[in-house]
């Protein structure tokens, strides 16, 4: 007998594979403001947010950045950015 009391039990969780973790954090100018973009190890974008956020400081603590994202590996991932923006970008390799 059900009188509508209680909460419905959760359904089963999906059993598919999880998304790959972010491997690179890229700080790049995008039309006059700096954004932080996250990429997997195969340069697939997985997130973008304001580079001035506290999360950037936390993620980059104790990491040494590499200058520029103008290597050919970044071509597809950054096709919307100019060569100057890519050259001025800062790339962090995250500890995963």
CB 40 within 8 A of CB 20: yes
Domain range enclosing 80: 24-93
Task: Please indicate whether residue 3 or residue 36 has the higher confidence score (pLDDT).
Answer: 36
Closest Cα to residue 71, out of 85, 82, 84, 87?
Answer: 87
Task: Please indicate whether residue 61 or residue 13 has the higher confidence score (pLDDT).
Answer: 61
How many structural domains does the chain have? 1
Residues in contact with 28: Cβ distance below 8 Å, sequence separation at least 6, in sequence order: 34, 35, 37, 69, 78, 81, 85, 86, 88, 89, 90
Q: Quote the pTM value.
A: 0.79
In a domain, 37, yes or no: yes
**pLDDT score at 1:** 54
Average pLDDT of the residues in 71-95: 94
Per-residue confidence at 7, pLDDT binned at 50, 70, 90?
confident
Q: What is the DSSP letter of 96?
A: -
Whether 11 has a pLDDT exceeding 60, the answer reads yes
In a domain, 13, yes or no: no
Least confident of 15-24, 35-44, 72-81: 15-24
User: Chain-wide mean pLDDT for the chain?
Assistant: 89
Backbone angles phi, psi at 94, to 5 degrees: -80, 145
In a domain, 12, yes or no: no
In a domain, 7, yes or no: no
Cβ-based neighbour number of residue 33 at 10 Å: 9
């Amino acid at each position: 007998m059900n009188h509508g009391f209680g909460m419905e039990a959760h359904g089963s969780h999906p059993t598919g594979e999880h998304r790959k973790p972010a491997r690179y954090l890229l700080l790049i100018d995008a039309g006059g403001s700096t954004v932080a973009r996250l990429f997997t190890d195969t340069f697939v974008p997985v997130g973008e947010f304001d580079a001035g956020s506290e999360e950037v400081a936390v993620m980059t603590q104790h990491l040494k950045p590499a200058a520029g994202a103008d290597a050919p590996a970044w071509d597809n991932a950054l096709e919307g950015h100019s060569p100057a923006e890519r050259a001025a970008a800062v790339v962090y390799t995250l500890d995963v």
